[in-house]
Amino acid sequence: MKIDLLQEDKAAIWRPETELEDPAHVKDAMADLKSSGLKTLFLDLIDKEWLSSSEIGVVMWIYKELDGIGGTLSILAVSPFVLKTINVTGIDQLLTVFDSLDKALDAIKG
């Protein structure tokens, strides 16, 4: 199982380590999410120091997949390099970036 359920099964979180580099893993994770019936996904990148251009592409692909089914992708990130990359590539215009899971969950409640 790539995806963990959160908030009384209202959301899911995925904490990839190196899987973002591997399209197969990403597809598995998305399959898990779709099979759970959830449309809200938190992509936990808090432990990542930086994102490569390929990983940015994957993030955007996930965004597109969720966007296609009316879902929502949010990112958890704190690394300045990650945040800057997200900003430069314009991803922050597409989705919400949280610096902690608690804030992300609060956002759902709200």
Residues of this chain that interact with other proteins (CB under 8 A) are: 23, 49-50, 52-54, 56-58, 60-61, 64, 80-81, 84, 88-91, 93-94
At its nearest, how many Å lie between other proteins and the CB of residue 63? 9
Backbone CA torsion sign across 72, 79, 1, 9: negative
Kindly state the smallest distance separating residue 86's Cβ from other proteins, in Å: 10
Sheet with 72-76, strands from edge to edge, namely 4-6, 11-14, 40-44, 72-76, 96-98
| CB nearer to other proteins: pick between 4 and 81 | 81
Smallest gap from Cβ 72 to other proteins, in A, equals: 14
* Element housing 7 (H / E): none
Closer residue to other proteins in complex, CB, 3/86: 86
CA angle 45, 14, 92 (to 5 degrees): 45
Q: CB 104 → other proteins: shortest distance, Å? A: 21
Nearer to other proteins by Cβ, of 22 and 102: the residue is 22
Residue 44 phi/psi, 5-degree rounding, is -85, 105
